[in-house]
Amino acid sequence: MANLNKELITKNIFQLLEDSGLTDLAFANLLDRSEKQIRLIKKAKAEFNIDDINIACDFFRKTINNINTREIKPDFMLRDKLILAHKKNTEYSILLESRPSITYAINYELLQNNEFKEKGLGVSKIRELFKKRGWKFESGYISTAMTRNPSKIVRIPDPEHKDWYLYKAKK
């Protein structure tokens, strides 16, 4: 345990955080840290302490060895796996039952949707898609998130409605 690679551990914890869909605030609460402290850790201006690492390992169901030896690859099913694994642990399950970050919803749900990739979807259909997962996002919030992801999403005119737009995965 003397050879902790804190840089790799931090990178892996944030990969797991992204894959889980937890917001920074929810994760900060889990670690009993402030959201500002999480932002500082992301910017490498602070570090996780050993208690933080142990809590993260317990929540993400990883050993310290798993996150200390190699880079963790993205897992698009991690949130669903964690929901199943923690269904009897109310402290953890409540975090996973709440709405994920919009970034997670876009990357892990919307960009995997065939209709979105092939034809594109309007904001109302995107909202419905998220609602099926139990995630309520306001239309304006979805619109803003779509325009903030130009490297992944394009806006195209809706052929059925004048002055409306569809959003589609960028090829």
Domains along the chain with CATH numbers: 6-97 (1.10.260), 102-169 (1.10.10.10)
Q: Give, for 167, the enclosing helix (H) or strand (E).
A: strand 165-169
Kindly state the tokens that stand for 63.
Answer: 């050993």
Per-residue pLDDT averaged across 7-26, rounded? 96
Q: What is the pLDDT of residue 163?
A: 87
Kindly state the tokens that stand for 155.
Answer: 């806006």
Confidence check: pLDDT of 1 > 70: no
Q: CA dihedral defined by 12, 137, 127, 171, rounded to 10 degrees? A: -40
Confidence check: pLDDT of 2 > 60: no
Q: What is the pLDDT of residue 161?
A: 87
Confidence check: pLDDT of 123 > 60: yes
Q: What is the pLDDT of residues 45-99, one digit of tens each?
A: 999 999 999 999 999 999 999 999 999 999 999 999 999 999 999 999 999 999 9
DSSP line for 107-164 = IIIGGG-HHHHHT-B-HHHHHHHHHHTT----HHHHHHHHHT-TTTEEEEE-TTSTT-
pTM here is 0.85
Angle between the N-to-C axes of helices 50-60 and 24-31, in degrees from 0 to 180, rounded to the nearest 10: 120
Residue % of the chain over a pLDDT of 90: 92
Q: What is the pLDDT of residues 134-158, one digit of tens each?
A: 999 999 999 999 999 999 999 999 9
